[in-house]
Every structure is written in structure tokens, then in C-alpha cells.
């Protein structure tokens, strides 16, 4: 395992995805709002996703220079998307949100962790 990402570009791409996801969650666009509704996530807590996504992006970018931070942030994102998948399964939401969004993001996060920090 490396303390700093190598290569860096997968971490930068994942950070950019998190920024876009944070913007889409700010005032949730229809497909994001539908996703939150489908897993019965309380509306009063929807606001929390934007700071989480922005913090993840910041952790990934800062992790380019701060040892272990990028790896820890990747691990946290993996945990986040495992929980998201669990919420979709618990809500019996077996559509696009589970298989494309949550599972797709989990694969991207695992690939980034493996490629930039492990292999």
C-alpha cells in the first residue's frame, strides 16, 4: 500500500465526481430526489449529502499531498456506497438507482482505491 496516490488521476476523477454529485444534491435534481424518496431517506436530512460529497472531494484532493488521507477517504466512500446499497436493498429498490448509481459508484471507488493506493 502506498501512502500517497500513484497514479493521481483516478483520485482527481473521483473527486470531480463527488463535486458534481454534491452539486446535484444541493437542491436535489429529480432523479436524485427520487432516489432519496425510494429508500425512504427523511427529507429533513437531505441537506447532509452536499457537505459529505464536498468533504470527500476535499479529502481526496488533499490526500494527493497528505499521507494516507486519500486512502482513508476512498475507504470512507466505499463504506458510504455499501450503506447506500444496503438502503436500496432494504427498501427493495432494485432499479437503476441501485445497479447504476450506487453499485457503479462503489465499483469506481474500489477501483480507485486499488489502482491508486494498493497495486
First and final C-alpha spacing in the chain: 7
Predicted confidence at residue 72, as pLDDT, reads 98
pTM as predicted:
0.93
Contact 35, 67 (CB under 8 A): no
Contact 18, 51 (CB under 8 A): no
What average pLDDT does the chain have?
95
Calpha distance 50→86 (Å, rounded): 20
The mean pLDDT value for 103-115 works out to 97
The 10s digit of each residue's pLDDT in 44-67 is 999 999 999 999 999 999 999 999
Nearest CA to 84 among 71, 93, 73? 93
Confidence of residue 109 (pLDDT cuts 50, 70, 90): very high
Q: Is 20 left (phi over 0), alpha (psi -120 to 50) or beta?
A: alpha
The 10s digit of each residue's pLDDT in 64-85 is 999 999 999 999 999 999 999 9
Residues of the chain above pLDDT 70, percent: 100
The mean pLDDT value for 97-109 works out to 91
Amino acid at each position: 500500500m502506498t501512502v500517497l496516490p500513484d497514479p493521481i488521476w483516478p483520485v482527481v476523477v473521483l473527486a470531480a465526481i463527488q463535486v458534481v454529485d454534491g452539486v446535484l444534491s444541493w437542491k436535489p435534481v429529480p432523479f436524485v430526489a427520487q432516489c432519496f424518496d425510494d429508500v425512504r431517506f427523511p427529507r429533513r436530512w437531505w441537506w447532509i449529502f452536499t457537505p459529505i460529497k464536498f468533504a470527500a472531494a476535499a479529502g481526496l484532493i488533499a490526500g494527493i499531498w497528505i499521507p494516507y488521507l486519500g486512502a482513508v477517504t476512498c475507504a470512507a466512500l466505499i463504506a458510504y456506497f455499501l450503506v447506500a446499497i444496503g438502503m436500496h436493498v432494504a427498501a427493495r429498490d432494485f432499479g437503476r438507482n441501485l445497479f447504476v448509481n450506487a453499485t457503479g459508484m462503489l465499483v469506481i471507488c474500489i477501483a480507485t482505491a486499488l489502482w491508486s493506493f494498493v497495486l
